[in-house]
Amino acid sequence: MKRLALLLALAALAGCGWDSGDDAAITGGGVVDEDILTVYSSLPAPGRGAAADIVAGEKLALAERGGRVGRFTVNFVSVDEAPGRNAAAEAARAAIADAQAVAVIGGLRTAETRVTAPLLNAAGYLQVVLGASYPGFTRPGVPGEPGRYKPAAQPTFARLGGDAGDEAEALVAAAIDPRPRFVSGRAGSAPAGRTLAIEAEAGDEAAALAAAVRAAAGRAGLRLVANPARADAVVYASEDPVAAAGVLETLAREAPRATLVLPEALGRAGVRAPRAVTVTSAPVPPRGFAARYRAAFGRAPGAYSPLGFAAMDRVLDAIAAAGDRARTRRAVIRAFAATGRDAPPRYAIRRVPSRPGR
């Protein structure tokens, strides 16, 4: 019976379409006038790859609560946050136009999050960010940051994982020892003489990650070298999987003994490279998750399914904590912040297939 109820709940979620919410006007202060709330998922190509796994995890978390939190019915809408400024803005505005919306889960890439963060902040929507690690969203970077991303002054941006500094420590840990494992906090100490080269694509986000890796490498005692051919490991700072393919092919050829260490954005996008590892901040699945996921969807969960589940679970916890005040978006934002974790993010080091199917 439990499985039947879960399947019925998932079927109901699959039927949820976009609704402008004309009958649920917003009163002053961002208050929804009905007992129906909507959580948006804004991801690139949500029907395939890691994004599809995240969406399935989100649906499962909501279905397991029967689509309700307290007095509220909670709907789910998935929109395609395609690459590019216009597409990202359109995805954000779809949520903003829905008067029942209280939160948006997304923010996989920095490029699109630069567009969506100020729009959602100005409108007062909680934005749960799953992957954009650029530190300028939350602390000073280039001039105007982080203020340009929160024009309303009130914080609405909430990372589920870490920023570039946290990821850099995990990347350096992988450069020191590429064996698959979990790491958290500082990278540790490198063996004497171990060398690291850092390559980066153009752009503020890659530069910020490269700088964080350089600082973490110094703390760990890695010796930095300019020539990748002389390095034991090479970190490539990039969010662009298309550009990365050619660069990694060249690095693999020119540095035949080096381990290639890829940031999470490239691993999540499915980039392949020989002798490569990546890091992921996707959480460890809760007990019984794989069995419940398989029962609901008829397949094993992907690596990022637990991330979608955890994100939706925390949003629903925030709605529950806000109680009757969940009709006010600001109350949901405050409740979400109050459920935050103080421990440093945990990353998994994983091997990257050298080619599809391996």
pLDDT tens figures, 193-251: 999 999 999 888 899 999 999 999 999 999 999 999 999 999 999 999 999 999 999 99
**Residue 8: predicted pLDDT:** 44
Distance CA 285, CA 203 (A): 34
CA–CA–CA angle 186, 187, 192 (5° rounding) = 130
| CA 309 to chain CA centroid, nearest Å | 12
- State the pLDDT confidence band at 25, using cuts at 50, 70 and 90: very low
Residue with tokens 């990546």: 278
Distance CA 199, CA 250 (A): 12
Instruction: Please give the share of the chain, as a percent, with pLDDT higher than 90.
Output: 77
Mean pLDDT of 183-194: 93
- State the pLDDT confidence band at 290, using cuts at 50, 70 and 90: very high
- Give me the chain's average pLDDT, please: 89
- State the pLDDT confidence band at 142, using cuts at 50, 70 and 90: confident
Does the pLDDT of residue 30 top 90, yes or no?
A: no
Does the pLDDT of residue 27 top 90, yes or no?
A: no
Does the pLDDT of residue 181 top 90, yes or no?
A: yes
Q: What is the DSSP secondary structure assignment for residue 101, as one 8-state letter?
A: E
- Reference 312, options 64, 34, 12; nearest CA is 64
**Cβ atoms 112, 52 nearer than 8 A:** no
**Residue 355: predicted pLDDT:** 63
Q: Which helix (H) or strand (E) holds 105?
A: strand 101-106
- State the pLDDT confidence band at 5, using cuts at 50, 70 and 90: very low
Does the pLDDT of residue 100 top 60, yes or no?
A: yes
Name the pTM for this structure.
0.87
**Residue 32: predicted pLDDT:** 61
Does the pLDDT of residue 12 top 60, yes or no?
A: no
CA–CA–CA angle 92, 97, 98 (5° rounding) = 105
Pairing relation of β-strands 72-80 and 68-69? antiparallel
